[in-house]
Structure 1
């Protein structure tokens, strides 16, 4: 089941950041945050292979993966997207930020755009996220975005779900 049908990859513009498709030219800057099936890329070639799989997942309607771009510098600062659950009308929201951009609000801005798109364009009924219990910055981010803890998972992970209000 495909929740979204686009003739083009969705480009989402916000005040500070935009979400766009990752290009081959971006891969060299993204090696440290390029992952697929929890495996990290070590080379540009591996990052390209992973990105090809990610692009195919999008075409198959199984996920959507954006680069988060600083609107002033036009540099990708991180990635975010929906990676599981789309066939059930829900989405697991995940994100990774390049270390030099930690603590500057980029991820909050990017995730807000992704949440709005998930709810209003994709029609998701549930948005959730999972992280390690030791990942304090991710937990703070999720709580700031109105996620609430819903479960303790295996492997020291915890699950959060977006608490939807009429203000989103």
Structure 2
């Protein structure tokens, strides 16, 4: 289960089935949904099923997802590790989404700083990757602002309902994060 991580303005807590009502409008928002590598959702019940799958994956240590909460506003998004590999690699892939009403206010930067600290410090990761659609300029700027470096374009890396899709690979190494914090 994901531990609670507290920041200055946001708190990350383990995703729960009750979060479906708050996350459904985020995951299906027309400015968010096109960037997600997830099946389309048609109801809060679908969101609850997705959360159930994510919780099952967390129990099997295949994934780790937090709900991003804001005092007075409740759940405003989610973030976490889509996967990680410790044996021989010590790397993981991070992902995130936030309700558009909260974009540009630093909430996701704060949330990801907490998740990155957990990944490098507690999980023992050496490399954290983020995969973004090439047209998702906001996400690219977010990850670069956190110190991630763009490493390349993975051609036709994902298959979606629209067909094969390229992604941009960003990565942050433990040593680079340490240098940024000195």
Q: TM-score, normalised by structure 1?
A: 0.87
State which of 21, 31, 43 in structure 1 corresponds to 2:24.
Answer: 31
- 1:63-78 equivalences under 5 Å are 63-70=63-70, 72-73=71-72, 75-78=74-77
Q: Return the alpha-carbon distance in structure 2 between the equivalents of residues 121 and 64 of structure 1.
A: 13
Match of 1:15 in 2: 8
Q: In the alignment, is the contact (CA less than 8 A) between 2:76 and 2:99 conserved in 1? A: yes
Determine the structure 2 residue equivalent to 1:40: 40
TM-superposed deviation, 1:33: 3.5
The correspondence of residues 12-161 of structure 1 with structure 2, limited to 5 A, is 12-34=5-27, 38-70=38-70, 72-73=71-72, 75-87=74-86, 88-154=89-155, 155-161=165-171
| TM-score after normalising by structure 2 | 0.81
Task: Give the SS at the match of 1:38.
Answer: coil
Residue correspondences, number: 160
Gaps of 5+ in 2: 28-32, 156-164
Deviation at 1:98, TM superposition (A): 0.9
CA RMSD of aligned residues (A): 1.8
Shift of 1:125: 1.3
Q: Structure 1 unaligned runs (5+)?
A: 1-7
Residue deviations 1:7-46, cap 9 Å, x none? x531111111111012233211111334896213221111
